[in-house]
Amino acid sequence: MLDIKVAGENAIIIYLGNQIAEKVVEDITFFTALLKQELGNVIIDIVPSYTSIMLSYRLDKIDHKSLCEQITMLIENNTLMIKMNQDVLLEIPVLYDADVGLDLADYLHEKSLNLDTLIKLHTERDYLVYGVGFSPAFAYLGTVELRLETARLETPRVKIPAGSVGIADNQTAVYPISSSGGWKIIGRTPLDLSLANPDNINLFKVGGKVRFRPIQLAEFLALGGEI
C-alpha cells in the first residue's frame, strides 16, 4: 500500500500501511533512510511513525507534483538499496521487583502469573521500536507476549520515576524521564535513557530492536540505580 496525502503547504504524509505490523515498520525504516539519501537536498524534516512517514520539503527546490512522482518511483521501483544495520540490538537491564515495580504485585495477581514467569515472558523476545514519542526518547516497543497484555491504569499516575518499565495494551516501554503516565509499571532500569545524556539522541529509532535483561538488586545498584 502506498498513498501520499497533503499535510500542509509544504508537507505530505506517505502511508505505507493501514495497521501496525512489524513488516510495515521495517518498510518505513528502510524508506525513511532511502528518502533521506536520495532527496535530502529538498527535505526539511522527515518523521517516521507506525504506518506512515511525514515529510516537509523546500518549496524553492521542488513542487508537490514532482516530489510525489520521485517518491513514488523510489518506493515502487525500489531500485536503490541502502544497507541497513538492523542486527544491532539494544539491551536494557531491568530489576523486576516490587520496590521499583509500582504495579508489579497487582499485575501478577491480575494475570495469574508468578514473578519468574513474568520475567521469562518479558525478556525472552526482541521488541521492535514502533514509534518514538509522548516524551523525548520514549520508545513504543512491541509486541508483548499475549499473556502479558493489559489495559492502562484507569487513573494515570502524576509521577512515574525515570527508568520505569511498563506495559500497556500489547506494548512495553521505558520512561526515560520522570513523568506522568498510565502504563502498568513492572520494573526499572538503572540506565539513564534520557536526552540529558547526549549519547541517547539516536538511541531509539523506528525499526530498531530492544531486548530486556533481568538483573538482581546488587547489579541494579552497581549500575547507578536507586530504590
Residue 202 burial by CB count (10 A; 0-12/13-18/19+): exposed, middle or buried? exposed
Give Cβ neighbours of residue 211 (< 8 Å, ≥ 6 apart). Answer: 89, 90, 91, 92, 123, 125, 126, 127
- pTM assigned to the model: 0.73
- Indicate the domain borders of the chain: 3-77, 89-222
Mean pLDDT value of segment 12-37: 86
197 or 33, which is more confident? Answer: 197
Superfamily of domain 89-222: Cyclophilin-like (2.40.100.10)
The pLDDT of residue 81 is above 50: no
Cβ neighbours of 93 (radius 10 Å): 18
Identify the pLDDT of residue 87.
57
Q: Is 179 helix (H, G, I), strand (E, B) or coil?
A: strand
Tens of pLDDT, residues 115-134: 999 999 999 999 988 878 87
| pLDDT in the model for residue 20 | 82
Which regions of the chain does DSSP assign to beta strands (E)? 3-8, 11-15, 43-48, 52-57, 89-95, 127-132, 139-142, 157-160, 164-168, 171-174, 179-181, 184-188, 209-215
DSSP letter at 74? H
Q: What is the pLDDT of residue 50?
A: 87
In this chain, the answer to whether the domains covering 3-77 and 89-222 adopt an identical fold is no
Q: Could you tell me if 182 and 172 are in contact, meaning their C-beta atoms sit under 8 angstroms apart?
A: no
Per-residue pLDDT at 218 exceeds 90: yes
C-alpha cell at 73: 518511483
Give the DSSP H/E element, type plus range, for residue 22. Answer: helix 22-39
Q: State the distance between the two ends of the chain, measured CA to CA, in whole angstroms.
A: 48
Per-residue pLDDT, 78: 66
**Fold classified for 3-77:** Gyrase A; domain 2 (3.30.1360)
- Kindly state the percentage of the chain with pLDDT values over 70: 96
